Structure 1
């Protein structure tokens, strides 16, 4: 066993170990479990304790992407400081965290929350290498099974009829599951809305006013990424993109909502020709 492995004083997890997403055995609070296809380690907390991961199996604690030259030999490290575990990236490619957060080489480390966290490193030929992490909570146990408990639904945001129609049109590319979707431009959305409901007086300004109102309302209720102050300049489509993602993730908008566009097209086909 290499020197770097002896330094951990941790426990080796074999390649056959089941996914950490299913939980971990009872352990001291703050214990970190790490796992890849090549196995992993479990290590108790302690100031300065470190778990190194990367491609070079003899020189890391956890081997990741062993046969993929896009993964750095020492891609990153998990370090225990100030009662938390922190993710450091020392590799050339970014590490993707939950929420699509990218951690780049030598950026400030990111703290890990208790429970399960998957990290991804993109390799060659569109491969994605997974590093599973689980940090035990204050009682050192995984959450208890709750097989029979009632499912908690997502919070669905209240939209009035005009707001809903405007956002369905604005976000139709998201509802269609297009790759890398973007919101429609204001003027395009307004033109489509005017075709759907000619009597409603849809204009670019009206669409923008309604959508900004929804953004402000959700931002005041705790949804992140909906204000210029949070995003910074240039804003581009980021505010509407974040709004539409929240509306889809909360199931406020769902793909069947696109039926209003199909019905409108059908109505247009059935109108008498002049």
Structure 2
């Protein structure tokens, strides 16, 4: 694999592991700046740096390590490069890379990355390995497109009540735990788990479904695929899958929210 590493002084930085997840944003940066985080840290690359970010299992041979202890992940699994003013993901590994939801980028294929936060997953037989990507989007308004120092606005996610967040985290916990091929819990499973978590409340499948249905209805004005009439049968888990995918992409729910399922200590 021929990977370009043309860099300009001062336009490429290493991000330490301690910087944390990119879900909560990033330091001030030029519009179009690429941030990539893996197992042990990541990279920040300016849009005009001429630098390709290589990721994969073998840490000495890549810029961003992902799936270090999983031999199913290729030593160099892919790279992200700048093409025609867009950042583009190339999968050069054997296993697929999954975007939020069900979209897959197979080996030998490419996909453009949106100017937003995008969690990518390398799908292996035993688990999915997370590679976080965020592309800085400039502040809206007159002249924002020409300001290299424009502030970056975090998507902020959708507004949820505390109760809605609890139910949705419970419903989508398999996604947050990065299980392979995750599916939403059933209404009965959600009710059982929340009933055990909050024994003083009356939980059943209908109550859990009603709360989630209201969130889907509210978001459907701006998000497609959340209403029965928008999805061809059979429905199965499609509506809830689409809802959870939207909440993950928008960073409305994040891995740290799993603490809500730990009881009073997790809520403290």
> TM-score with structure 2 length normalisation?
0.54
Task: Give the length in aligned residue pairs.
Answer: 178
Q: Is the 8 A contact 2:12 2:45 kept in 1?
A: yes
Q: List per-residue Cα deviations over 1:65-98 (Å, max 9, x = no partner).
A: 1221100011011111111111110000100111
Quick check: 2:5–2:51 contact (8 Å CA) kept in 1? no
With over 3 angstroms needed to count, the CA separation of the structure-2 counterparts of 1:67 and 1:151, relative to structure 1, is closer
1:23-60: per-residue Cα shift (whole Å, max 9, x none)? Answer: 00110000010001211000010385311101121221
Q: Distance in 1 between matches of 2:5 and 2:49?
A: 18
Please say if 1:83 is aligned against 2:77.
no
Structure 1 residue aligned with 2:112: 111
Maintained 8 Å contact 1:51/1:78: yes
Cα distance change, pair 99–73 in 1 and its aligned pair in 2 (3 A): same
2:39 matched residue in structure 1: 37
Select 1:245's aligned residue among 233, 238, 252: 238
Q: How far apart are residue 114 of structure 1 and its match? A: 1.4
**Structure 1: runs of 5+ lacking an equivalent:** 154-172, 179-217, 228-237, 252-274
Contact 1:4 1:59 in 2 (8 A): no
Q: Which residue of 2 aligns with 1:191?
A: none
For residues 141-161 of structure 1, what are the alpha-carbon distances to aligned partners after superposition, in whole Å with 9 as ceiling and x for unaligned? 3326979x96599xxxxxxxx
Give the Cα–Cα distance (whole angstroms) in 1 for the partners of residues 234 and 36 of structure 2.
Answer: 33
Match of 2:52 among 50, 53, 56: 50
Query: Closer, same or farther in 2 for the Cα pair 1:43/1:247, shift >3 Å?
Result: closer
The 1:45/1:241 distance shift into structure 2, 3 A limit, reads farther
**Alignment RMSD (CA, Å):** 4.0
Q: 1:106 to 1:136 in 2, by over 3 A?
A: same
- 1:180-191, aligned counterparts within 5 Å? none
Change (3 A) 1:141 1:240: farther
Runs of 4+ aligned residues of structure 1 deviating over 6 Å after TM superposition are 3-6
Secondary structure of the 1:239 match is: coil
Give the superposition deviation at 1:135: 0.3
CA contact (8 A) 1:85 1:112 kept: yes
In the superposition, relative to structure 1, how do residues 58 and 138 fare at CA in structure 2: closer, same or farther (>3 Å)?
same
Of residues 90, 99, 102, the one that matches 1:100 is 102
Give the structure 1 partner of residue 151 of structure 2.
141
Query: Which moves more between the two structures, 8-17 or 28-37?
Result: 8-17
Q: Does 1:130 align with 2:130?
A: yes
CA distance in 1 between partners of 2:240 and 2:68 (Å): 39
